[in-house]
Amino acid sequence: MSSPLPDHAETVARIGELFRTHGYAGTSLSQITQATGKGKGSLYHFFPGGKQDMAEQVLAQVEGWFGANVFEVLDTAPPHEAVARMFAAVTQWYRAGRRGSLFAAFTQEAATRALFARRIEVFFRRWVVALRNMLRRAGVTGGQATYLAEDTIAAIHGALMLAQGLDTPRLFGRMMDRAQHTLRAALPQ
């Protein structure tokens, strides 16, 4: 008995994993059909804009997850809880350093970055602003809050690249612990 075909959300997630692994330009339609179990006709039915439409839906799925699990938490939770929940969510999403950042992957390919520049910028700015605003609500001064927000997000993405480049996922966890400690230390008690 063959396994059932994935629903649309699962199809989008599978395509996202291909883009993460191979990049947008490096992912072929044959890889997509193999990973999703859907033929070209079925894919074009759900993604009439082709591969770019697929990428837009993948990015929207990632944005939705981060919106619910990171940005909203930063907007609404008490500061110490927000920090803990953000790092727990990021660790879960990036599978403790075993999964790359789709937005970072799209940023690294010049042609891909040009296609999705606005979405990439909005995603990272939204994260910086949510983290900065949480820090300001906690009493961290404006300039310091911006610095800490940018530094934290850079640390997360740098940790991902280094952990994957060295094939040492444990490194991601250690760097997340340090980044979380730095952020918590900046919060007024």
Domain-embedded: residue 22: no
With contact defined as beta carbons under 8 Å apart, do 83 and 34 qualify? Answer: no
Q: How far is CA 73 from the centre of its chain?
A: 15
With contact defined as beta carbons under 8 Å apart, do 165 and 156 qualify? Answer: no
Domain with residue 157: its CATH number is: 1.10.357.10
- Dihedral of the alpha carbons of 181, 186, 188, 189, in degrees to the nearest 10: 20
State the pTM of this model. Answer: 0.90
Measured distance CA(158)–CA(97) in Å, rounded = 11
Measured distance CA(145)–CA(126) in Å, rounded = 14
Domain-embedded: residue 33: no
Domain-embedded: residue 64: yes
Report the domain count for the chain.
Answer: 1
pLDDT tens-place values along the chain, 189 residues long: 445 556 899 999 999 999 999 999 999 999 999 999 999 999 999 999 999 999 999 999 999 999 999 999 999 999 999 999 999 999 999 988 888 888 888 988 888 889 999 999 999 999 999 999 999 999 999 899 999 999 999 999 999 999 989 999 999 999 999 999 999 999 988
Residues spanned by the domain of 124: 50-186
Domain-embedded: residue 11: no
